[in-house]
Structures are given as C-alpha cells and as structure tokens.
Amino acid sequence: MLLARRGYDVVGLDPAAASLAVAQAKPDAHLVSWVAGDARAVTIRDRDVVTMTANVAQAIADPDDWAMALRAVHRALRPGGTLVFETRDPAARAWEAWTREATQRTVLLPEAGEVTCWTQVTDAVPPLVRFRSTWRFAADGAVLTSSSTLRFRTRTEVESDLGAAGYVVADVLDAPDRPGQELVFVARRGVAPGACFDVG
C-alpha cells in the first residue's frame, strides 16, 4: 500500500482468495487494483517494477510453472523494467528449525480470540521441503491445517532460470532483516522508472 499511497499505479496478484481478502481489508486497499489468479492471469504490460513478496518464488515449486511465471512477468515489464524477489538461501537450511517446539506461538486475534499456531516439516529432500502449518482456536477448539511445498533454489539455479527467461541479473543482495538467510534478486529486462506490479 505504501507505493500506492505515494501515487504509483499498483496491481496486486494472488491465487489465494483468502489472501486477497486479507489484503483488501487493509487501510488504503482501494488504491490498489486486485487480481485473483496466478501468473497466467497477468495481462498488464509496460510495468517498471514487478515484485514477488513473501518468498512466493519458492512456492512455485514445479520447474515448468516457475519458468512460465518468469516469462509472464517478463511480458508484464517494459524494456528497462525490474523484477525483484527474495528466496531463502538453501545453504542456511532454514527448514531444520521448522519444528513445533521452535515455531509454536499464541496470538490474540480481535475476531477469533486466542489462537495457537506452529509449523512442522513433514518431508525434506532438498530442493523440495514439505511442511504443515497448524492453527488451534481456543474459543471452540477448532483446528485448521495447511500443507505446503517449497523449492529451495541455489543462487546459481535462480540466475540460470532468470537468464533463460530473458533477464539480466543486476544484483544479488543479502536480506537486511534476515542476514545470511535469504537472497534478494534484482533482475532487469532493461532500464527505466514508474509503475509497480506485485505478485505475492
């Protein structure tokens, strides 16, 4: 929303209806154009910046889907546009800390009351890591779970994938809030400033 508040033309894309609903409930959400769908839903063109947030690049675990997403973003960018995204560095082996003991916490939500949540790895054969997230609601004892698979790509693999999709890697940075844990890729289809498009 920060970019939209500053006057940039921002489009938010997400395949999960629940995630879109959360985003659309935030202050100033009306300043953003929201699209339900994955990279196949990208029809916009001539964008200056595309961002993939919240490690979404890893959630695109299938290599063919990943290649398709990179091509779709490439079409959305103007010549000179920039793609920015972060991905966990597999060398840090972050999944080894995804245990119930290490991740369990209890939060108080205004509309749901007390909720205890945790994450547990169910299978780890890098580059693929499967895990389950659990939420237990104190008010009625309800338990919700969600299973996910992430692909941990090496820097070399990501750079190769970007090159194959027509990008030039301009920089690879360390995430300032998670040093040594994530790689932040800045890839260009050229060079130019302006609007934003968010895949996340």
Q: Are 123 and 129 contacting, i.e. CB atoms less than 8 angstroms apart?
A: yes
pLDDT (tens digit per residue) in 155-195: 999 999 999 999 999 999 999 999 999 999 999 995 433 34
pLDDT (tens digit per residue) in 89-145: 999 999 999 999 999 999 999 888 999 999 999 999 999 999 999 999 999 999 999
Residue with tokens 């919240």: 54
> Which residues lie below 8 Å from residue 113, measured CB to CB, with a gap of 6+?
137, 138, 139
- The per-residue DSSP string of the chain comes to -HHHHTT--EEEEES-HHHHHHHHTSTTGGGSEEEESSGGG-----EEEEEE-TTHHHH--SHHHHHHHHHHHHHHEEEEEEEEEEEE-GGG-GGGG-SHHHH-EEEEETTTEEEEEEEEEEEEETTEEEEEEEEEETTT--EEEEEEEEE---HHHHHHHHHHTT-EEEEEEE-TTSTTTEEEEEEESS-----EEEE-
Task: Find the Cα–Cα–Cα–Cα dihedral 188, 194, 198, 199, rounded to 10°.
Answer: -30
Task: Find the Cα–Cα–Cα–Cα dihedral 120, 123, 126, 130, rounded to 10°.
Answer: -60
Residue 74: per-residue pLDDT: 94
Residue 194: per-residue pLDDT: 39
Residue 200 has pLDDT above 90, yes or no: no
Query: How far does Cα 128 stand from its chain's mean position?
Result: 16
Residue 67: per-residue pLDDT: 96
Residue 142: per-residue pLDDT: 96
Give the residue-averaged pLDDT of 1-27: 90
pLDDT (tens digit per residue) in 46-78: 999 999 999 999 999 999 999 999 999 999 999
